[in-house]
A = this chain, B = another copy of it.
């Protein structure tokens, strides 16, 4: 999270992005760790008084990943009263020698607007923010314990991503420019958490008409070389 000095940010409102990447046939999530603590969280942030909500989120993503114009989907706003943890925040200020008066807002209750983002893993250069000393990728199935309701937020993000898989172009944001059909299938499988029929998957994808086929990719392996594909437009 970013430190809001004074009245620069809207009180009581935050955003939390679940940033998905794809590498080694697995779906990954970008997680930050609080400075000098064993507390993990989504790389959330706050909204400037004079900035659109969506702009704030894109700004935060740019700061943490180095990327512009990231694929972003808002999926839910979490507003339960108990989404605040004064204990952890007090400990955080103490451990890091910060003035509780100056950082009073950290004890507030926050209504958070949750997004999921899809990024090209290779292009991301993860940068911790001012409250963190580490940020990094975690396997979706190997997440550390997360603060507050962030586990629930990740779960809901995944649920929404799965539901949108049919009618949104998910692969385009998670894969490099050129990719094989096998890689595309692995993206779908890692999101759905189940294996799909290879032959029918290929037919389905091709029938949708948004894939462009290019030259073959010679892997040097003892089998037929796969075609490479890009997304149209």
Contacts and interface: CB of A to CB of B under 8 A. Distances in A.
Contacts of A50: 81
Contact of A47 (B53, B78, B111, B113): B111
Nearest to A79: B53
A94 interface: no
Nearest to A48: B81
A35 interface: no
A74 interface: yes
A81 B56 CA distance: 11
Nearest to A51: B81
Contacts of A77: 53, 74, 77, 113
A226 B79 CA distance: 45
A125 interface: no
Interface size class, chain A: 20 to 34
B53 A13 contact: no
A53 B111 contact: yes
Contacts of A111: 10, 13, 47, 53, 113
Interface of A: 10-13, 47, 49-54, 56, 74, 76-81, 109, 111, 113
29 contacts: A10-B11, A10-B12, A10-B109, A10-B111, A11-B12, A12-B12, A12-B13, A13-B13, A13-B111, A47-B79, A47-B111, A49-B109, A50-B81, A51-B81, A52-B79, A52-B80, A52-B81, A53-B77, A53-B79, A53-B80, A53-B111, A54-B79, A54-B80, A56-B79, A74-B76, A74-B77, A77-B77, A77-B113, A111-B113
